[in-house]
Chains A and B, each alone.
Chain A
Amino acid sequence: MSILTTVVGAYPKIPNRPRPAKLRTAIARYEQGEIGDAELTAVQREVVREVIDEQIDAGVDLITDGLIRWEDDVTPFARAFAGFSIDGLVRYFDTNTYYRQPVVEGPVAWTRPVVVEEWKYAAAVSDRPVKAVVTGPYTMARLSLDRHYGRLEPLVLDLAEALHQELVALQAAGADYLQVNEPAVLQHPEDLPLLERALEVLTADLQQEVMLYTWFGSVAAVYPRILDLPVAVLGIDFVHDPQNLEVVRRAPFTKKLAYGIVDATNTRLETVDEIVERIRAMVDHVPPDRLYVNPSAGLEYLPRETAQAKLRRMVEGVRRAREVLS
């Protein structure tokens, strides 16, 4: 049984007492003008090292840098790309989390690396592989307010080109795992063909396998057509919509599955038995060597200590599953 464990991306940025909330303090001081870019970056990197250690300590095989420098899923890209301004707070899907809405003011284009330096730093300080993560072109477009293109399609395709350059830069920097997040397509299944065209632009000439993640929704309306997307791994949230289990069984799963079975939005800890049962319910459909197990979404909806406890439990559940199912 060679099931691998991974995460979807974000990790809580600050711990609870008695551990100090270093990053919160540093950002507040930065906003007051008391510290500069270099000092803020130093604290961010310290936190990246901590969250990498916590993930490795929990036993996760394939980790991320916790997206520690992202204030939300879209702002880092909207700030770096040409064509965007940043506006007020908007609710992020059906959560009590908010993001600053990017406004498309002109043609969107890649101008400089966005997450490459962060990824390089994380990879250098981690002894396990670190995924490079970007928000996908379709979701970027859906979470933005368009004042320039007037139509979704050209905006999505320009974003795909911009993000393609980012992935090329990540590949050149040595990233072996490229992850693209596209949760928004589940809210708009009619746009699956547009997503497919965007992903063709995005992944053109890449050597690496791309992992495409979705969360917070049903795949019923896009399955099995979603298996035609040009990616190697498909991430699906089976907690938000448990029916997804029956849905994916309707047709052979021809890709690797990133199996989101640990609830990233609730503190209740899954039992080891629950995790084993969920894995048992999938291994006859997707064999272990094509299965990643991960939380249902990024972990920032949870307090830091709960997030790590969930990862420990997940790893324990996968270990047990390897024993009992082999």
Chain B
Amino acid sequence: MTRGLLTTTVGSFPKPPYLQQARNRYLSGRLSRQELHELELRATREVIRLQEELGLDILVDGEMARGDMTTYFAEHLEGMEISGLVRSYGNRYYRKPIIKGPVRWQEPITLEIWRYAQSLTDRPVKGMLTGPYTMVDWSFLEHYGSRREAVLALAEAVHREARALDEAGARYIQIDEPAVSSRPGELDLAIEAMGVVTRGLRARTITHICYGDFDAIFPHMLEMPVDQFDLELANRDFRLLDLFRARGGFPREIGLGVIDVHSHQVEPVERVKAGIEKALEFIPPERIYVDPDCGLKTRTPEEARAKLAVMVEAVRQVKRERGIE
């Protein structure tokens, strides 16, 4: 019997309202770090339980302690600071980091909460990191003389964090590089940096790349030294698969994004199944991991649960119909 179509998610889950409120109270000095931490652990327990209930195969800790994916690491790395709020679009802002001096990893950043999450379940919990290229691209650069120097310094720091997770027994480590698809001209730099991050790791490695100029980076991006590429397919109606197919197929593992994380609407099971079937036309099931397009943190808890339930149901049906284990 063929195996495959393992289900997972991209990393972030919606924060429950009590945690949102606690974060605000903490930021305005009305809640202690310890009290906030207790609530982060409670939310982590709930996220693990939710994923087990839904029947996902590879879990995440849900990133309950993280605000923004770059800010969180910037706050913990020597040489980086937070500048303040910068608008990215509409009414959305992020606390943009600054690279102020030589960047150095000092101590594990994500390890404690990963360990805690893994202790709650028998299923594998992915380690989740932000990649060096994205860390630099989404920060103000005040210190290094070139972007290349900065990216390679960040790569060394992210490698240290990946190694800490690897040594602690993480079976999957995901290094997100959403910025890679927006600057095709720097793809080689991102590939070189990923080589620094993943060198010598025993864990299966994954990178998440957001929707962007795949016409310019595919198949060249496959040179990135990771085991799996996690991509957004649903929000462009799976058309990206046509591009991959026309250019020699997808010879690596793919994290197949089948849920549009930017839409409030819960997609019908049939649409998700159609996306999976389309991938199965040219990628064998053991190389396909099914997940949402991107992190779920911008959805409500109800939307996230409903969307994941649809995803799991679609996978179940496809597996049954095709005799996949």
**Bound together:** yes
Are the C-beta atoms of A96 and B84 separated by less than 8 Å? no
Which residues in window 82-129 of B have CB below 8 A to A? 83-91, 93, 96, 98
User: Who on chain A is nearest to B89 by CB?
Assistant: A98
B214 at the interface (CB under 8 A from A): no
Bits for A55-98, please: 1 = Cβ < 8 Å to B, else 0.
00000000000000001100000000000000001010010111
Say how far A143's CB is from chain B's closest CB, in angstroms: 13
Chain B, interface SS category: strand
B182 at the interface (CB under 8 A from A): yes
Are the C-beta atoms of B91 and A303 separated by less than 8 Å? no
Are the C-beta atoms of B28 and A17 separated by less than 8 Å? yes
Report how far A31 CA is from B92 CA in the complex, Å.
13
Q: Which residues of A contact B138 (CB under 8 A)?
A: 96
Q: Which residues of B contact A304 (CB under 8 A)?
A: 84-85
Are the C-beta atoms of B89 and A267 separated by less than 8 Å? no
Q: Which listed residue (A72, A91, A300, A306) contacts B84, Cβ 8 A?
A: A306
Residue of A31, A89, A96, A301 with most partner-chain B CB within 10 A = A96
Say how far B183's CB is from chain A's closest CB, in angstroms: 8
Say how far A76's CB is from chain B's closest CB, in angstroms: 13
Q: Which residues of B contact A267 (CB under 8 A)?
A: 83, 98, 140, 142
Are the C-beta atoms of A266 and B141 separated by less than 8 Å? yes
* Count: A-B pairs, CB below 8 Å: 62
Which residues in window 10-44 of B have CB below 8 A to A? 27-28
Bits for B136-160, please: 1 = Cβ < 8 Å to A, else 0.
0110111000000000000000000
Are the C-beta atoms of A31 and B84 separated by less than 8 Å? no
* Contact (A71, B90) CB under 8 Å given A96-B138, A267-B140: yes
Report how far A17 CA is from B95 CA in the complex, Å.
12
A24 at the interface (CB under 8 A from B): yes
Say how far B251's CB is from chain A's closest CB, in angstroms: 29
Are the C-beta atoms of A16 and B142 separated by less than 8 Å? no
Are the C-beta atoms of A16 and B84 separated by less than 8 Å? yes
* Contact (A96, B88) CB under 8 Å given A17-B27, A91-B182: yes
Q: Which listed residue (B84, B85, B137, B140) contacts A268, Cβ 8 A?
A: B140
Are the C-beta atoms of A28 and B140 separated by less than 8 Å? no
Report how far A91 CA is from B28 CA in the complex, Å.
33
User: Who on chain A is nearest to B185 by CB?
Assistant: A94
* Contact (A96, B85) CB under 8 Å given A28-B91, A266-B142, A267-B98: no
Are the C-beta atoms of A31 and B89 separated by less than 8 Å? no
Q: Which listed residue (A28, A94, A100, A302) contacts B86, Cβ 8 A?
A: A302
Interface size on A, residues (CB 8 A): 30
Q: Which residues of A contact B179 (CB under 8 A)?
A: 96
Are the C-beta atoms of A97 and B89 separated by less than 8 Å? yes
Which residues in window 239-279 of A have CB below 8 A to B? 266-268
A192 at the interface (CB under 8 A from B): no
Are the C-beta atoms of B85 and A14 separated by less than 8 Å? yes
Q: Which residues of B contact A300 (CB under 8 A)?
A: 86-87
Are the C-beta atoms of A97 and B91 separated by less than 8 Å? no
B contact residues, range: 20 to 34
Are the C-beta atoms of B91 and A16 separated by less than 8 Å? no
Q: Which residues of A contact B87 (CB under 8 A)?
A: 12-14, 97, 300
Are the C-beta atoms of B182 and A303 separated by less than 8 Å? no
Are the C-beta atoms of B84 and A266 separated by less than 8 Å? no
Say how far A96's CB is from chain B's closest CB, in angstroms: 6
Q: Which residues of B contact A71 (CB under 8 A)?
A: 89-91
Which residues in window 264-316 of A have CB below 8 A to B? 266-268, 300-306
Report how far A178 CA is from B227 CA in the complex, Å.
55
Q: Which residues of A contact B137 (CB under 8 A)?
A: 96
Q: Which residues of B contact A97 (CB under 8 A)?
A: 87-89
Q: Which residues of A contact B183 (CB under 8 A)?
A: 94
A21 at the interface (CB under 8 A from B): yes
Are the C-beta atoms of A24 and B84 separated by less than 8 Å? no
Are the C-beta atoms of A24 and B88 separated by less than 8 Å? no
A177 at the interface (CB under 8 A from B): no
User: Who on chain A is nearest to B183 by CB?
Assistant: A94
Are the C-beta atoms of A303 and B89 separated by less than 8 Å? no
Say how far A70's CB is from chain B's closest CB, in angstroms: 11
Say how far A264's CB is from chain B's closest CB, in angstroms: 12
Report how far A322 CA is from B229 CA in the complex, Å.
57
Q: Which residues of A contact B85 (CB under 8 A)?
A: 12, 14, 16, 21, 303-304
A99 at the interface (CB under 8 A from B): yes
A1 at the interface (CB under 8 A from B): no
Q: Which residues of B contact A16 (CB under 8 A)?
A: 84-85
Q: Which residues of B contact A91 (CB under 8 A)?
A: 182
Q: Which residues of B contact A12 (CB under 8 A)?
A: 85-87
A27 at the interface (CB under 8 A from B): yes
Are the C-beta atoms of A305 and B182 separated by less than 8 Å? no
CB-based closest 5 A-B pairs? A303-B84, A98-B89, A16-B84, A267-B140, A268-B142
- Identify 24 residue pairs between A and B in the complex whose beta-carbon atoms are under 8 Å apart, listed by A's number: A12-B87, A16-B85, A17-B27, A17-B28, A21-B85, A24-B91, A27-B91, A71-B90, A72-B89, A91-B182, A96-B137, A96-B182, A97-B87, A97-B88, A97-B89, A100-B90, A266-B140, A267-B142, A268-B140, A300-B87, A301-B86, A302-B86, A303-B86, A303-B96
B contact residues vs A (CB 8 Å cutoff): 27-28, 83-91, 93, 96, 98, 137-138, 140-142, 179, 182-183
